[in-house]
Structure 1
Amino acid sequence: MKTMIPNALTLARFLLAPIVAWLMWKGFSIPHFAEYGPNAMNNSPETIAAAEALGTKYQLWAAILFVVAALTDLFDGMAARAWNAHSKFGRILDPIADKALVGLPLLTYVGMHRYFQGEFNYLILIPVLIIVGRDIFITILRLFAPDGEGAPVSNLAKYKTALELVAVAMPIFMQLPWIPASSALYWSWVIILCVAALLSAITGLGYLTASPTSKPKD
C-alpha cells in the first residue's frame, strides 16, 4: 500500500509527458494555420484573434501541466524515501517517465520548427538528439542492469536534470503572449540547452565507464 502514492505520482508524470507535448503542438499550430494556412485568406481578423486566444489556452495548459509533472518527480522520490516505499514497478517506470517528460516536449519543439519553418534548426536539433539519444540508451541499459537501483545520484546528474527541465520549460513559457519575446531570452535558452546536452553526454560516459557496482542513478 505504501508504494501506491509514489507509483501513482510516477505514472502521472509518465502520462502527462505526451499530453504536454500535444498541448505545445496545438498551442502553436492553431494560430499558425489560422494566419498562414491554406485558407488563411478567408479568415477574418476576429477568426485569427480567436485562434490566437485558443492557442494561448493550449500553451498555458502545457505550462501548467509541465510544472505539475515536474513536481511529481520531486514528490514521488520524497514519498518513497519517507515511507521506504520502493518497488520494482517504480524503479522501472521512474527513469522512463523522467526521460519522457524531457524528451517528448523537446522533440515536439524540433518537429514544430521543421514543420512550420520548413527546415531543421541544427543549433537546437543537435543538443536535443544528444539528450534524447543518451537518455534512451542509458535507460535501456539500466532496465537490464543486474545491480538494481544503482548508487546515489551524482551532483553532476542533478545539475543535468535541473538544466534539462529548464530547457524544456523555457520554450513552453516563451510561447505565452505575456512573456516578451527577445533575442536575449532565446539565446539564453539555447545556451542552457547546449550545456544540458554537454552534461548529458558527460554523465552518460560516466555511467558507461563506471564499475557495475557503482553505476550512478540518473
Structure 2
Amino acid sequence: MDTKNDNRLVRLIPNGLTLSRLVLTLVFLSMILYSPHTGSEKPAAFLMVAFTLFVIAGLTDIFDGPVARAFGVTSKFGRMVDPLADKILVGGAFICFVIVRQPTFTNIFSPCTETLIQWTTAIVIIAREVFVTILRHIAEARGVSFAATVTGKVKMFVQSFGIGTVMIKWAFVSRPWGDWFTVVTFAIMLLVTVVSGIKSLQRPRR
C-alpha cells in the first residue's frame, strides 16, 4: 500500500514542477506590468525579485523532464503542458515588455525605432510558438512524438537570456553599451527563434 502511494507521489513530481512554473510565471508577468507604477524609473530591487522568480521558473523547466524520465513517469500531459508553460513564460514576458515599453534604446535609437524593435521581437517569438504548437498538435493527434529537441532547448536558453538582459538593463544600465548589447542579443535571439521554427517544420508529423 505504501509503495503504491509512493509511486503516485513520484508521478506527481514532474507535473507539480510544471504547474509551479505556471504559477511563478503569472507572478513574474504581473510584476513586470506593475514595475512602471513603483514610482521609480529603475526599480532595481523590485525587478530583481521578479528576475529571481523567472530564474526559479526556468530551473523547474530544466528539472521536470529529467525527473520524469529518471522515474519513468513521462506522460502525454507532460509533453503537452511543459512546452505550453514555456510559451506562456517567454511569450508573456515579451508581450509585457511591449506593454511597459521595454527595452529602451534612448542612447542610439528614436522612440519610433524602439517601438518597432519591441513589437517585432514579440510578434516573431509569438508567431513561432503558435506555429510550432499547431505542428505539435497535428503530430500528437497522429500518434507521433513531438518532444523538445536540442534546437528548441537552445532557442529557449537564448530567449531566456534575452529576457534576463532586458530585466538587468532596465534595473541597472543606462549607458550606450547596454543598448548595443541588448540589440545584439535580440538579433541573435530572433535568428535562433526563426531557425528553430524552420527546423520544426522539417520534423516528421506522420
User: Scaled by the length of structure 1, what TM-score is found?
Assistant: 0.76
- Encode CA deviations 1:110-136: one digit per residue, 9 max, x unaligned: 11118x998661123212211111112
Q: CA deviation at 1:12?
A: 1.1
**Do 1:24 and 1:172's aligned partners in 2 also have CA atoms closer than 8 Å?**
no
Name which of structure 1's ranges 199-208 and 89-98 shifts more when overlaid on structure 2: 199-208
Name which of structure 1's ranges 133-142 and 117-126 shifts more when overlaid on structure 2: 117-126
Q: CA deviation at 1:196?
A: 1.5
Q: CA deviation at 1:180?
A: 3.6
Amino-acid identity (%): 28
- Encode CA deviations 1:118-163: one digit per residue, 9 max, x unaligned: 8661123212211111112211331342244336613x33322211
Q: CA deviation at 1:15?
A: 2.1
Q: CA deviation at 1:212?
A: 2.1
Question: Which of 23, 30, 33 lines up with 1:22 in the alignment?
Answer: 30
Alignment of 1:133-144 (within 5 A): 133-144=127-138
Name the counterpart of 1:209: 202
Name the counterpart of 1:173: 168
Name the counterpart of 2:149: 153
Figure out how many residues of one structure are paired with residues of the other and give that number.
189
Partner SS state of residue 174, structure 2? coil
Residue type at the aligned position of 1:174: K
**Do 2:121 and 2:190's aligned partners in 1 also have CA atoms closer than 8 Å?**
yes
Name the counterpart of 1:188: 181
Alignment of 1:50-65 (within 5 A): 55-65=43-53
**Do 1:163 and 1:193's aligned partners in 2 also have CA atoms closer than 8 Å?**
no
- Encode CA deviations 1:6-38: one digit per residue, 9 max, x unaligned: 101111112222221110121223226xx8xxx
- Encode CA deviations 1:43-85: one digit per residue, 9 max, x unaligned: xxxxxxxxx7xx4443122111001001001111121121121
Unaligned ranges ≥5, structure 2: 1-7
Inter-CA distance 160–152: structure 2 relative to 1 (3 Å threshold): closer
Q: 2 CA distance for matches of 1:184 and 1:210?
A: 39
**Do 1:105 and 1:168's aligned partners in 2 also have CA atoms closer than 8 Å?**
yes
Name the counterpart of 2:4: none
Question: Which of 180, 195, 199 lines up with 2:192 in the alignment?
Answer: 199
Matched, 1:6 2:14: yes
Q: 2 CA distance for matches of 1:62 and 1:7?
A: 23
Question: Which of 119, 123, 138 lines up with 1:129 in the alignment?
Answer: 123
Question: Which of 50, 63, 72 lines up with 1:75 in the alignment?
Answer: 63
Residue type at the aligned position of 2:115: N
Q: 2 CA distance for matches of 1:152 and 1:108?
A: 25
User: Scaled by the length of structure 2, what TM-score is found?
Assistant: 0.80
Unaligned ranges ≥5, structure 1: 36-51, 214-218
